[in-house]
Amino acid sequence: MTKRYPKWLLNIRTKALNLFSKYSIPRWMVFVFDNLSVFLLVFFAYLLRFNFDIAAINYAIVFKHSLVILSVYAGFSIIFRSYSGLLRHTTLTDVSLIFLVTTISSIFLLVLTIGSRLFNLNKFLSSIPLSVILIHYGSITVFLFFVRVFVKLIFRFATSYGMDKKNVLIYGAGEMGFVVKRVLLSDPKGGFNVSGFLDDNKQLQGKKINGLPVYNPTILSANILNRNKIKTLIIAVKDISPGKKSEIIRTAVSLDLEILETPSIDHWLNGQLQVRQLQKVKFEDLLGRDPIKLNMELIEKGLNNKTILVTGAAGSIGSEIVRQLARFNTKKVILVDQAETPMFHLENELRKKFSNLQFKLILADVTGAEKMEFIFREYHPEIVFHAAAYKHVPLMEDNPHEAVRVNVGGTKLITDLSVKFGVEKFVMVSSDKSVNPVNVMGASKRICEMIVQSKAQQAGVKTQFVITRFGNVLGSNGSVIPIFRQQIKEGGPVTVTHPEITRYFMTIPEACELVLEAGFMGSGGEIFVFDMGEPIKIADLAHQMIQLSGLVPQKDIKIEYTGLRPGEKLYEELLSDKENTIPTHHPKIKIAQVEKLDGPALLSKIDGLFDNFYSLSKHEIVRLLGELVPEYKCGNGKYNEAEVRGER
């Protein structure tokens, strides 16, 4: 590219590039330059008026007239801020402001001069020649316009050639897209060259904005991108629905485009967007769905002026439930968790972002009977969201005692206390791993569901017990997304257990919104199952996350298969073979129809489970889980089927 230009021209380009990279003319300097030009061009107007007859001009009068004209132009310049735009990025708006200031200033001077003559107001003002005002108007307008265009052309010449730049398309030809375009072009060393815009507005498609074409997004194809050497897509739309954003990202990923997005305006530095603030889209955006429509009236009625207890409050689900509760007029929210550091961070967040929320943090283990009873007696919660649980499958395979103690024992204790202290509503957060479980964690969560169901069936119990069941949530602590993100950051490899393994995914806010909705939907005893969309291959997820990082799978970052971990399924289910669903008024929430349980017998067995608990071996714990959960089958876990069935 650079060989087409003579050496002296390239030297000029290099010097100009260095100048633009290091300096940007401050606004006060543009203001001074503009008004100095106004002042000097008054003399030029007089020269034209008197046909360059220097002797005929009274320079003392001209100087005074220049000061009057300067003051008028300066005043309107300040009012309309015609000096505020970057000269290197002069736009139609900037030129319009120049034209507006010079036109209004000239009209004002003409009215002032003519008025002074007609009404004998001021001899000095009436002495300004009308022809000088008109000549000055034309000359200053052309001059200021020419200066700005000249600087812009020099900048384009300095930044358009001889550099290895990425050709980008900007999705969004509105105000935000225009800002992004200006920012990209304002940074000579940013490495971006804007090739055009994409926009869904048919009125803009096929037109040009500042010389850049606006395309229909449907033109995106491998042939067009290769022909124009497009490497990057930047999303620059203020209000874009998660569903639409997901659609754009999926298309771009399939075409191996790097995808960047513009942060919201409140995250710009000092109100100004910078190239370094453009960020890679998150994988969560790829799976984004349109916002859930909640029955706000139902939820508000259920939460209004209520004392609410949230167990596992510092966890991914528990903390998001607390954030969602902050939207409503609750009386007080009691937050219980045994994790000290996460509770510390949660408290700081709530004090900073949710100052309206009345809350109390309590460090406590949900299996500690005396402490939990003290909490219920002290605060008398009317609603309980039970999210405390151990959830990591391989860890629970190695520690079945703890899975049973915390998940089963904690749920049994909290449900007992809820009945004892007259809690109105108890909502348990369950998991799809409880369906046809093949691991200790899943079996323990199924028993938790059975405990809640049994409590709901007990005669005389006024507490409404509700179960919510859903799959994996994106970005939760210890989940696959943060692990993959860290592995990519470290340069790989990204480890996947099996090429065919699939999982359901949902965003944390989406899951917690549905928990709130379901919590006030039923009359008690229901298992609410959430619509998780289509299951996703974990291998595809790894591939897409690498691409979203601007890297090439198996080239920049390797994907390695490590084999299924103990107790891990190839795929998860939301319903067992014996379960069906019935719809609710919410399209994303269904009720699982399950077999009725022998509640008293089950609760009696669970009480017996904790007799001499730690004297039992791991295998004995697993056998007891098998007795309580007939559908529990050891897949590739540490324990074989004979052990579960007590046939060892």
What are the pLDDT digits (tens) for 231-253?
A: 888 888 877 777 788 888 888 88
- The CA radius of gyration of the chain, in Å to the nearest whole number, is 35
Residues 193-212, mean pLDDT to the nearest whole number:
82
Domain ranges (residues) in the chain: 2-159, 164-281, 296-641
Average pLDDT of the chain, as a whole number: 82
| pLDDT band per the 50, 70, 90 thresholds, residue 219 | confident
Q: Is 278 left (phi over 0), alpha (psi -120 to 50) or beta?
A: beta
Quick check: 274 pLDDT over 80?
A: no
Alpha carbon distance 139, 89 (integer Å) = 22
Selected residue with higher pLDDT from 355 and 25: 355
Q: Which CA distances in Å does 357 have to 219, 328, 347, 385, 480?
A: 49, 9, 11, 17, 32
What six digits make up the tokens of 493?
Answer: 């490899």
What six digits make up the tokens of 522?
Answer: 């039923």
Selected residue with higher pLDDT from 581 and 380: 380
Nearest of 394, 400, 333, 405 to residue 365 by alpha carbon = 405
CATH for 164-281, among 3.40.50.720, 2.10.10.90, 3.40.50.150, 3.40.190.10? 3.40.50.720
pLDDT tens figures, 119-165: 887 777 888 888 888 998 889 899 988 888 887 777 666 665 545 56
Instruction: Please state, for a pLDDT cut of 70, what percent of the chain lies above it.
Output: 84
* Helical ranges in 399-537 per DSSP H: 400-402, 410-420, 440-457, 480-489, 508-519
Nearest of 636, 613, 173, 113 to residue 412 by alpha carbon = 613
Q: Phi and psi for 379 in degrees, rounded to 5?
A: -110, -15
Q: Which CA distances in Å does 5 have to 11, 161, 194, 499?
A: 10, 10, 23, 53
pLDDT recorded at residue 2: 38
Which segments of 342-392 are extended strands (E)? 359-363, 383-386
Alpha carbon distance 583, 531 (integer Å) = 11
Residues 280-293, mean pLDDT to the nearest whole number:
69
pLDDT tens figures, 289-338: 665 676 778 888 889 999 999 999 999 889 999 998 998 899 999 999 99
Q: Are 533 and 504 in contact (CB under 8 A)?
A: yes
Quick check: 1 pLDDT over 60?
A: no
Quick check: 629 pLDDT over 80?
A: yes
Selected residue with higher pLDDT from 429 and 250: 429
Q: Does the predicted model carry a pTM greater than 0.75?
A: no
Alpha carbon distance 213, 190 (integer Å) = 21
Quick check: 17 pLDDT over 60?
A: no
Quick check: 97 pLDDT over 50?
A: yes
pLDDT recorded at residue 371: 96
Selected residue with higher pLDDT from 435 and 314: 314
pLDDT recorded at residue 89: 61
| Burial (0-12, 13-18, 19+ Cβ within 10 Å), 555 | exposed
For the CA atoms of 129, 131, 135, 137, the dihedral, rounded to the nearest 10 degrees, stands at 70
Q: Are 502 and 315 in contact (CB under 8 A)?
A: no
Bridge partners of residue 361, in order along the sequence: 335
> 296-641 adopts what CATH topology?
Rossmann fold (3.40.50)
pLDDT recorded at residue 311: 96
pLDDT tens figures, 502-557: 887 777 777 888 888 888 887 777 888 877 777 888 888 888 888 888 788 888 88
pLDDT tens figures, 553-570: 888 889 999 888 776 777
Same fold yes or no, 164-281 and 296-641: yes
pLDDT recorded at residue 3: 44
Is 237 in a helix, a strand, or coil?
A: coil
| pLDDT band per the 50, 70, 90 thresholds, residue 642 | low
pLDDT recorded at residue 465: 92
Residues 6 or more apart from 79 whose CB is under 8 A from it?
A: none
Q: Is 422 left (phi over 0), alpha (psi -120 to 50) or beta?
A: left
Quick check: 646 pLDDT over 60?
A: no
